[in-house]
């Protein structure tokens, strides 16, 4: 009687991938199922009649999925080489830990033991706060961990302490993060470590940059702490893969939500492909689910490759239930920060702006109708219409250029009217708020998502000596006034510089402004909750002086009744996304922010209806006949 079908698992160190081999010549349903799982995994794979080559995390997923079926389907997995055995053993241990964490708290080192280990390692210049020790205690108990604490809670410090407590001689610490995070990583070692710390524990982080050869030389230089940005990471994938495969590396993703697209992005696909190589993985993000629950899928698959946590999210399980005790979060209540005050300010449209808004809104509805009923539709055009509505809400002149490029039919009378009106009523209202605050001796930060609007606001507020931050502003030395760091320094130190105008996508991370400004003014907002939350945290964070009041001023354009308000749509969707994040993280501050959005008055101009807008459009287009009798 023939024995069970044998399927061998190999690890190929040269290719940094797995190989699944059908060793028993046989026609067996299990082999077809394994091949189907490989093709459906989204990972890199190659098939032959008796071999499946696939990224190692894909191998682990197949082992997890089919191991329990070995008896019923009459086959056996066999470990083919020592490298595979070592990795499968490590995976099994971590998978058991994941499952155990859902039902029982792990054994924790005492805080006294942790502090003693840190002191012995030279971590003596900074004393961890109680909430940082609590988070560190939990993370030390896990083989991989997630720190979802709010910005300003010291995630960088806790991560360095975690590495100090868990590291063994010769291990490396490798951080991937946005460029905005680099200053924190460059400074944290000097702020925490005694220069005479043993075992090279005072070694600073080396920022990786330059050519592939330069990066390779740095990684082989004998240094053990590195930081690289996400964009450069995917430009040198082979070098980074080889480094992770040949060195004992603790890999940290800072602002880990940047890999949320997973296999649909180059950075996500690369990180998922090498996830099993490091000896430890940690992810850091204050907003792990900026758009919705599926955002966390790829982060969990990176953190615990093969454990199937991301699949549970896709199947609709609540993220809080899936994560269980596998993460830590310090909230603003833990930081004892007073609740910020949020003010929703409504501003009416000017006539030309309203007419143009009505036309663009009609175009958007046309695109939406096509999207609903037709399979072939210009989705980029629909998205452009949404962006135009966002632009129109704050800065209608910004829309004119794209309208010309896109050949959208707009009568010259309307265009002339928009140009004659100049800066929108909302831009002027925001400018006046900044001036009123400056008159009281208060600096402010104005947030807008469009670079052209930043530059126009600079001109409008020239009397307040503004500085601006957006994507094109380069990083550099604080002594250079043209760099990001130089502009931030000027905002802090120049008493005549009363306002900073910034893009949250470029300046919402990695900077602290809470010592200079306590008022944030939103000229417009995007649908991305991360941009909103991170930008608030620039001025509302640990280190605020006692009794300081933080104000969030949200300006919304009043839209006619029945026409629909893009600002209201943004507010409503932000509230929904914040609710999902709040339910996962059990954070009362997120509940407060969502509640403020939900309770804010609708930015609707009830005294204007769609017929009024249509009449205005016809008037500006010159289609309304002049009636001498009614004019008398």
Number of Cβ within a 10 Å radius of residue 253: 23
> What region, left, alpha or beta, does residue 152 occupy, with left being phi > 0 and alpha being psi -120 to 50 degrees?
left
Q: Residue 631 domain-assigned?
A: no
Please tell me the distance from the alpha carbon of residue 496 to that of residue 604, in angstroms, as a whole number.
Answer: 37
CB 131 within 8 A of CB 153: yes
Q: Same domain for 48 and 130?
A: no
Of 328, 363, 395, the last residue of a domain is 328
pLDDT of residue 26: 67
Judge if 125 and 216 occupy the same domain: yes
How many folded domains does the chain comprise?
4
CATH number at residue 574: 3.40.50.300
**Do 141 and 253 reside in the same domain of the chain?**
yes
Residue 631: per-residue pLDDT = 38
pLDDT at position 376 over 60: no
Question: Can you give the pLDDT at residue 614?
Answer: 66
pLDDT 10s digits, 290-301: 888 888 999 999
Higher-confidence residue of 14 and 160: namely: 160
Pick from 571, 578, 526: which is nearest to 389 by CA? 526
263-292 pLDDT per residue, tens: 889 999 999 989 989 999 999 999 998 888
213 in Cβ contact with 243 (< 8 Å): no
Shared domain check, 477 and 593: yes
Please indicate, yes or no, if residue 625 is contained in any of the structural domains: no
pLDDT in tens, 387-413: 888 888 899 988 877 676 555 566 678
Order of all β-strands in the sheet with 75-79? 45-47, 51-54, 17-22, 5-12, 75-79
| Residue 68: predicted pLDDT | 87
Are residue 128 and residue 71 in the same domain, yes or no?
no
Last residue of a domain, one of 39, 63, 97: 97
* 623 within a domain of the structure (yes/no): no
Nearest to 273 by CA among 246, 248, 238: 238
- The first and second tokens of residue 187, run together, are 């400074």
- Supply the pLDDT for residue 628: 42
Instruction: Clarify whether residues 406 and 463 are in a common domain.
Output: no
Closest CA to 155 of 177, 170, 171, 179: 177
User: Of the candidates 294, 389, 302, which has an alpha carbon nearest to the alpha carbon of residue 349?
Assistant: 389
If 0-12 CB within 10 Å is exposed, 13-18 middle and 19+ buried, where does residue 492 land? Answer: middle
Q: What mean pLDDT, rounded, does the chain reach?
A: 87
Contact 147, 172 (CB under 8 A): no
Q: What is the pLDDT of residues 213-252, one digit of tens each?
A: 999 999 999 999 999 999 999 999 999 999 998 899 999 9
Distance from C-alpha of 131 to C-alpha of 110, rounded to nearest angstrom: 14
In a domain, 276, yes or no: yes
H/E segment holding residue 89: helix 82-101
pLDDT tens digits, one per residue of 134-178: 999 999 999 999 999 998 899 999 999 999 999 999 999 999 999
pLDDT of residue 234: 94
Conformational region of residue 270, where left means phi above 0, alpha means psi within -120 to 50, and beta covers everything else: alpha
Query: pLDDT tier at 608 (50, 70, 90 boundaries)?
Result: low
Q: Which helix (H) or strand (E) holds 598?
A: helix 588-599
181 in the same domain as 313: yes
pLDDT for the residue numbered 16? 81
Residue 550 and residue 430: Cα distance in Å, rounded?
17
Helix (H, G, I), strand (E, B) or coil at 112: helix
Interacting residues of 36 by C-beta distance below 8 A, sequence separation 6+? none
Domain that holds residue 468: 423-611
Mean per-residue pLDDT for 333-357?
Answer: 91
Residue 599 pLDDT: 85
- 170-199 pLDDT, tens digit per residue, is 999 999 999 889 989 999 999 999 999 998
The CATH number for 223's domain is 3.40.50.10810
Kindly report the backbone phi and psi dihedral angles of residue 428, in degrees, each rounded to the nearest multiple of 5, phi listed first: -70, -35
Tokens of 183: 């200053």
Cβ atoms of 190 and 267 closer than 8 Å: no
In a domain, 618, yes or no: no
388 lies in some domain? yes
Residue 456 in contact with residue 423, Cβ under 8 Å? yes
Residue 515 has pLDDT above 60, yes or no: yes
Terminal CA-CA length for the chain: 108
The verdict on 280 and 304 lying in the same domain is: yes
Is 257 domain-assigned?
yes
CB-side exposure of 286: number of CA atoms within 13 Å? Answer: 26
Distance (Å, whole) CA 279 – CA 247: 9
Residue 464 phi/psi, 5-degree rounding, is: -100, 10
Tell me whether residue 627 is in a domain: no
Decide which of 421, 438, 467 is a domain's last residue: 421
Q: Are residues 87 and 44 in the same domain?
A: yes
Q: Kindly report the length of the chain.
A: 632
Two tokens, residue 432:
């006046």
Based on its alpha-carbon atoms, the radius of gyration of the chain, rounded to whole angstroms, reads: 28
CB atoms within 10 A of CB 204: 14
Instruction: Locate 296 and state its tokens.
Output: 């966390």
Which tens digit of pLDDT belongs to each residue from 75-109? 999 999 999 999 999 888 888 878 777 666 666 78
* Residues 6 or more apart whose Cβ sits within 8 Å of residue 15: 53
**Is residue 353 domain-shared with residue 301, that is, in the same domain?**
no
Q: By C-alpha distance, which of 209, 270, 180 is closest to 507?
A: 180
461/575 same-domain check:
yes
CATH number at residue 64: 3.30.70
Whether residue 10 is found in the same domain as residue 131: no
How far lies 348's CA from each of 163, 437, 464, in Å? Answer: 54, 22, 25
> Where do the DSSP E strands lie in 23-171?
45-47, 51-54, 75-79, 145-147
């Amino acid at each position: 009687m023939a024995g069970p079908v044998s399927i061998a698992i190999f690890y190929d160190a040269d290719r940094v991938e797995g190989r699944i081999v059908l060793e028993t010549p046989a026609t067996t349903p299990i082999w077809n199922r394994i091949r189907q799982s490989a093709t459906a995994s989204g990972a890199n794979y190659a098939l032959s009649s008796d071999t499946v080559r696939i990224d190692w995390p894909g191998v682990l997923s197949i082992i997890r999925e089919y191991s329990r079926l070995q008896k019923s389907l009459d086959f056996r997995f066999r470990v083919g080489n020592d490298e595979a055995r070592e990795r499968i053993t490590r995976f099994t241990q971590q998978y058991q830990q994941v499952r155990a964490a859902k039902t029982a708290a792990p054994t924790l080192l005492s805080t006294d033991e942790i502090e003693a280990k840190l002191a012995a390692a030279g971590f003596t210049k900074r004393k961890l706060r109680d909430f940082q020790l609590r988070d560190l205690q939990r993370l030390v108990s896990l083989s991989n961990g997630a720190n979802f604490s709010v910005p300003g809670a010291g995630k960088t410090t806790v991560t360095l302490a975690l590495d100090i407590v868990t590291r063994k001689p010769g291990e490396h610490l490798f951080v991937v993060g946005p460029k905005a995070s680099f200053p924190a990583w460059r400074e944290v070692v000097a702020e925490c470590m005694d220069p005479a710390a043993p075992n090279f524990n005072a070694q600073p982080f080396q920022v990786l940059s330059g050519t592939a050869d330069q990066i390779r030389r740095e990684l082989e230089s004998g240094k053990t702490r590195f930081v690289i940005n996400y964009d450069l990471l995917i430009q040198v994938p082979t070098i980074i893969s080889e480094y992770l495969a040949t060195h004992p590396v603790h890999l940290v993703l800072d602002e880990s939500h940047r890999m949320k697209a997973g296999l649909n992005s180059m950075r996500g696909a690369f990180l998922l492909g090498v996830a099993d190589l490091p000896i430890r993985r940690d992810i850091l993000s204050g907003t792990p689910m900026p758009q919705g629950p599926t955002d966390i899928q790829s982060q969990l698959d990176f953190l615990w490759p093969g454990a199937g946590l991301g699949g549970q999210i896709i199947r609709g399980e609540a993220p809080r239930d899936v994560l269980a005790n596998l993460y830590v979060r310090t909230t603003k209540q833990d930081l004892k920060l007073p609740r910020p005050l949020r003010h929703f300010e409504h501003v009416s449209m000017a006539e030309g702006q309203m007419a143009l808004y009505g036309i663009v809104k009609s175009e958007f509805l046309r695109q939406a109708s096509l999207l609903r009923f037709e399979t072939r539709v210009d989705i980029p055009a629909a998205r452009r219409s949404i962006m135009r509505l966002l632009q129109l809400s704050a800065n209608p002149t910004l829309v004119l250029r794209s309208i010309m490029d896109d050949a959208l039919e707009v009568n010259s009378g309307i265009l002339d009217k928009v140009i004659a009106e100049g800066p929108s009523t909302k831009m002027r209202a925001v400018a006046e708020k900044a001036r009123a605050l400056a008159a009281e001796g208060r600096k402010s930060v104005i947030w807008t998502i469009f670079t052209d609007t930043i530059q126009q606001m600079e001109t409008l507020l020239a009397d307040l000596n503004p500085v601006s931050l957006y994507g094109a502003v380069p990083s550099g030395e604080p002594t250079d006034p043209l760099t990001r760091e130089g502009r931030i320094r000027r905002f802090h130190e120049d008493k005549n510089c009363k306002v900073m105008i910034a893009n949250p996508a470029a300046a919402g991370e990695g900077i602290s402004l809470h010592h200079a400004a306590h008022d944030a003014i939103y000229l417009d907002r995007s649908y991305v909750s991360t941009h909103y939350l991170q930008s608030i945290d620039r001025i509302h964070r640990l280190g605020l002086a006692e009794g300081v009041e933080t104000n969030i001023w949200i300006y919304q354009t009043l839209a006619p009744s029945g026409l629909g308000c893009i600002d209201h749509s943004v507010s409503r969707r932000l509230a929904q996304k914040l609710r999902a994040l709040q339910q996962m993280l059990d954070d009362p501050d997120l509940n407060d922010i969502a509640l403020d959005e939900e309770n804010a008055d609708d930015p609707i101009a009830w005294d204007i209806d769609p017929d009024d807008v249509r009449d205005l459009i016809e008037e500006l287009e010159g289609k309304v006949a002049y009636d001498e009798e009614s004019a008398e």
